[in-house]
Amino acid sequence: MVTVSRTGHEFRPDPSRVVAQPFIPGVSMFGAAPHRTEGIVGRILDLDPDDAKALLEETRLLFADRHRRLEEVWLASFQQVAGTSEAMAQATGDLRLLLGATFTHEYAIEAAALCNPSMVPAASPGDNGALPVILSLRAIGEGHISSIEFRSGTVSATGEVTIEPPTAYCRLGRRTSPEYDRDIFIAKLVEMGADAAVCSSVFERLPETPDLGQLEEAITRYENGNADSDAIHQTRHLIHWLASSNYLLTFDDGPICERVISPAGPADSRGMEDARMVRFVDDDGSVTYYATYTAFDGQRVLPQLIETDDFLEFRIATLNGAYAQNKGMAVFPRRVEGQYLALSRYDQESLFLMRSDHRRFWHQAEPVYAPTRPWEVIQIGNCGSPLETDAGWLVITHGVAPMRRYVLGAILLDAADPSRVVGSLRRPLLEPDADERDGYVPNVVYSCGGLIHAGRLVLPYGAADQKVRIMTADLDELLGEMT
């Protein structure tokens, strides 16, 4: 059995970590009354000027020390809602701030749980051998909605882990629409069920990288020149859904622990779960960080991709292909024989190897490893991207045993042919101990990725989907047990 060391780190959910985000009341249940926005705006505008000034000052005093640049957040909320109200659009000065504050609320991103972390190198080791690292975390708040947040730290030359405590602030990124790749966009539309002939006609005059405005103009032009049909309505709906599910999030410079990636598109409207981060080094030496996560819209789950070079701008993109399905997709940290590789759990219970010439298209997959050991009889999945070693690709796994008990294991894939398993642990690497069994989801240890440094596996993990801990193990001992 491999000797595992728990480092003593423990990160628990903190309900004081809140973001300020737009709050937009819904439409009346029975449809007889006007949209609630107009009524709220009317009540604000009807306030006595002194009362309005006092309400703004009271709100500012209550919340100014809980958010950076709070008035900028209020003005952003004002702009988002102003388009629905002619009266609101006429407001100026402090009234804009008060209306913005009225249509803003706090959301506690960690109110329910903090779990399922991954860890990647942030840079090369320093002169002292210490490796800068970034830790991603799944934060679960009200309504079981998951967001992604970060911590920074180091792993020393002797394998000691240090994680910097977070500041008192959290903030969301600015959402914008990117330019879209026309061919990728069309391929995904057709995959989703759009009429291929309609798509071809809509996009035939568009440039290779259209923006959102050009997409809107193209579908409107096509509608105006053709008879109304279900195919046109379906294509318009899918264009809007797809365009809204592919977006950019941009943050101002500042501590990485304050940046929160929160659902901002229809595909992930009910949560961004279990981000598996990887530091990807391409053949030309360029570095990009990818994170595959599970997008949940309230009914279905889909893997989506986050891309960033600097952790300031994040591109969120849908994935394409028959095998871009279900949970647990993890990208290899480099190409193998010129191709992108990824692990997935396409059939919901086994590990598959996927190959592709493009990081967003996944049309090929082959089974690699099915549940074999007693502690993985229900299903098996990866715990993050494979880690490259001299002996092969190390894949930390999770297995599900009776009573839905999750434990961690490991398999080893051949270095040249990762579809071939060359080793595996006969016993679990990590099991829930006595104080890791009870929580948001009991009897679970789970990770979304670790790293190797100073001859040790460093693996953060969630315990009972409630808190986060870190374990380490000697790499040579682990590989020896497997081979």
Question: 241-263 pLDDT, tens per residue?
Answer: 999 999 999 999 899 999 999 99
Q: How far apart are CA 11 and CA 151, in angstroms?
A: 11
Mind listing the pLDDT tens digit for each residue in 212-222? 899 989 888 88
What's the fold here for domain 4-14+109-175+246-482?
Tachylectin-2; Chain A (2.115.10)
Percentage above 70 pLDDT, the chain: 98
For the chain, which residues make up each domain, given as ranges?
4-14+109-175+246-482, 19-108, 179-245
Tokens representing 255 are 């501590």
Q: Helix (H, G, I), strand (E, B), or coil: what is residue 196?
A: helix
Q: So what's the pLDDT on residue 16?
A: 96
Residue 275 identity: A
Q: How far apart are CA 145 and CA 272, in angstroms?
A: 8
Q: So what's the pLDDT on residue 35?
A: 65
Query: Phi and psi (nearest 5°) for 25?
Result: -60, 150
C-alpha closest to that of 366 among 342, 389, 388: 342
Chain position carrying tokens 């193990």: 473
Count helices and strands in the chain by DSSP H and E runs: 10, 28
pLDDT band at 31 (very low <50, low <70, confident <90, very high): very low
CB–CB of 317/324 below 8 Å?
Answer: no
pLDDT band at 32 (very low <50, low <70, confident <90, very high): very low
Least confident stretch, 44-58, 315-329, 440-454: 315-329
Is 122's pLDDT higher than 80?
Answer: yes
Q: Which helix (H) or strand (E) segment is 96 a member of?
A: helix 93-102
Per-residue burial over 43-68, b = 16 or more CB atoms within 10 Å of its CB, e = otherwise? ebbeeeeeebeeebeebeeebeeebb
Least confident stretch, 62-66, 70-74, 109-113, 294-298: 294-298
Radius of gyration of the chain (CA): 24
Q: At what angle do helices 70-82 and 49-63 cross, to 10 degrees?
A: 130
Chain position carrying tokens 């903090």: 114
Q: So what's the pLDDT on residue 301?
A: 86
Q: How far apart are CA 318 and CA 329, in angstroms?
A: 13
Chain position carrying tokens 């001299």: 390
Q: So what's the pLDDT on residue 477?
A: 98
Is 27's pLDDT higher than 60?
Answer: no
Chain position carrying tokens 């460093």: 458
C-alpha closest to that of 409 among 348, 476, 355, 459: 459
Average pLDDT, the chain: 93
Q: How far apart are CA 359 and CA 343, in angstroms?
A: 13
Q: How far apart are CA 185 and CA 206, in angstroms?
A: 12
Least confident stretch, 69-73, 225-229, 344-348: 225-229
Is 8's pLDDT higher than 90?
Answer: yes
Q: How far apart are CA 451 and CA 136, in angstroms?
A: 13
Q: How far apart are CA 373 and CA 405, in angstroms?
A: 14
Is 34's pLDDT higher than 50?
Answer: no
* β-sheet with 247-250: strand ranges across: 174-176, 247-250, 313-318, 301-308, 287-296, 272-281
CB–CB of 347/293 below 8 Å?
Answer: no
Q: How far apart are CA 353 and CA 161, in angstroms?
A: 31
Q: How far apart are CA 103 and CA 78, in angstroms?
A: 7
CB–CB of 369/343 below 8 Å?
Answer: no
Q: 306 has which bridge partners?
A: 291, 316
Percentage above 90 pLDDT, the chain: 76
C-alpha closest to that of 447 among 3, 4, 15: 4
Q: How far apart are CA 282 and CA 200, in angstroms?
A: 33
Tokens representing 266 are 């229809």
CB–CB of 403/443 below 8 Å?
Answer: yes
Q: How far apart are CA 270 and CA 261, in angstroms?
A: 13
Q: Based on the number of CB atoms within 10 Å of its own CB, is 473 exposed (0-12), middle (13-18) or buried (19 or more)?
A: buried
Q: So what's the pLDDT on residue 235?
A: 87
